[in-house]
Structure 1
Amino acid sequence: MKRLVSLSAEDNAATALSDISPGDECCLEVAGNKYKFNAEEGIPFGHKVALIDFQPGDQVIKYGEIIGRATKTIKKGSHLHIHNVVSDRVVK
């Protein structure tokens, strides 16, 4: 069963297609890029997971679009959400 979806070779975040438990093995190939890792933590259905390690300020890219920036160090396989990513899409 496919557990993650990503649409662009530029993506460094994928979307969970089902709940992912800590330690679950995740594999994904998109546009020739292959990712394989164990989930660092639980990731709910529909939420984002890190495909790479992030440093504070790094861009988070989903579906080929910059959607935000990491606010702290994030390990590959971690849940990406408001606790560690600030949106670039906030309208002020």
Structure 2
Amino acid sequence: MKVNVLLINPRDSVVTALQVLAAGTKLAASDAIPALQTCETVPMGHKVAIRDIAEGEHVIKYGASIGVASQAIRAGQHVHTHNLRSLRGAVKHA
């Protein structure tokens, strides 16, 4: 199966789409990810949840939090501004 998503860190809760993924597309990465498919169309470069993420839970990409789920996110669901509250600018650096 052709690789269509990128898993950056084994701790990540999302993968990045390497192409447009139509609803029902099986996810395939060079690293082991759970066997699942997309729930909806995901644009290239956007994120897909690879496990269920509870509302208020940190979304992990690159092995670090990129934001907090603003609603429950199912495995296979598109993760973007409609269900992710970014932490960008929330952290003050010394």
The TM-score normalised by the length of structure 1 is 0.89
Distance, in Å, in 1 between the alignment partners of 2:41 and 2:89 is: 26
The two structures, once aligned, show a CA RMSD in angstroms of 1.6
Equivalent pair of 1:27/1:35 in contact (CA under 8 Å):
no
Counterpart in the other structure of 2:16: 15
- State the 4+ residue runs in structure 1 displaced beyond 6 angstroms: none
Structure 2 stretches lacking a partner, 5+ long: none
Counterpart in the other structure of 1:4: 5
Greater alpha carbon shift after TM alignment, 10-19 vs 21-30: 21-30
Number of residues of Structure 1 aligned to a counterpart in Structure 2: 90
Counterpart in the other structure of 1:68: 67
Kindly, what percent of the aligned residue pairs are identical? 33
Higher strand share: 1
Larger radius of gyration: 2
Structure 1 stretches lacking a partner, 5+ long: none
User: Using a 3 Å threshold, how does the CA distance of structure 1 residues 80 and 91 change in structure 2: closer, same or farther?
Assistant: same
Distance, in Å, in 1 between the alignment partners of 2:84 and 2:20 is: 20
The TM-score normalised by the length of structure 2 is 0.87
